[in-house]
């Protein structure tokens, strides 16, 4: 199993998204995702989030909210526990990313981009200001979402 973070930097009704196009053998190849990556030894979720944002965007986080944990179960990949954040303040100059192209995408256009089906579920949750911290389990067979469970309640099977 692996531990990761995924972060959505938000500004003016847009999220900073990463179009994953540059890495060979990338499970997210050609998909649009937030900013994030794998934990390093001795990192907390917040440490990993801050490091990944700095490495992938050149930006230093000032204000964030820990939104939830997403458990990915797959027939292709090891189980993944992803810690999900939104970021509303940062400083620094945005740089290029060696994993793909960064782009500010309007929230209204976001769901039309190629992405994992389960990402659409948690993007809806983080866009709702009344949604508290949540636990979401997403089960995939290949690229197909076969089950979604939110806070222990079945959403899709």
Q: How many domains does the chain have?
A: 1
Task: Give the pLDDT confidence of 93-111 residue by residue, as tens digits.
Answer: 999 998 899 999 999 999 9
Which residue in this structure is represented by tokens 């189980």?
Answer: 79
Domain of residue 31, CATH code: 3.90.79.10
Which residue range is the domain that position 117 belongs to?
A: 2-156
CA distance 64 to 8: 9
Helix, strand, or coil here: 21?
Answer: coil
* Alpha-carbon distances of 98 from 25, 56, 157, rounded to whole Å: 14, 7, 36
CA distance 8 to 33: 9
Task: Confirm if 82 and 7 have CB atoms less than 8 A apart.
Answer: no
Task: Give the pLDDT confidence of 64-79 residue by residue, as tens digits.
Answer: 999 999 999 999 999 9
Q: Positive or negative CA dihedral for 28, 156, 139, 13?
A: positive
Label residue 29 by pLDDT band (50, 70, 90). confident
Which residue in this structure is represented by tokens 């030894």?
Answer: 41
- 108's enclosing H/E stretch is helix 107-110
Q: Does 53 score more than 80 pLDDT?
A: yes
């Amino acid at each position: 199993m692996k531990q990761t973070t995924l972060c959505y930097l938000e500004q003016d009704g847009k999220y900073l998204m990463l179009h994953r196009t540059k890495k060979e053998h990338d499970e997210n190849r050609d998909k649009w995702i937030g900013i994030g990556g794998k934990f390093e030894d001795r990192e907390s979720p917040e440490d990993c989030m801050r490091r990944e944002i700095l490495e992938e965007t050149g930006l230093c986080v000032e204000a964030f909210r820990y939104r939830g944990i997403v458990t990915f179960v797959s027939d292709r990949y090891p189980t993944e526990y992803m810690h999900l954040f939104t970021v509303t303040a940062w400083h620094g100059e945005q740089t290029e990313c060696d994993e793909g192209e960064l782009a500010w995408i309007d929230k209204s256009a976001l769901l039309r981009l190629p992405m994992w089906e389960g990402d659409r579920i948690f993007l809806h949750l983080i866009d709702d200001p009344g949604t508290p911290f949540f636990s979401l389990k997403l089960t995939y067979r290949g690229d197909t979402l076969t089950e979604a469970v939110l806070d222990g309640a079945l959403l899709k099977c």
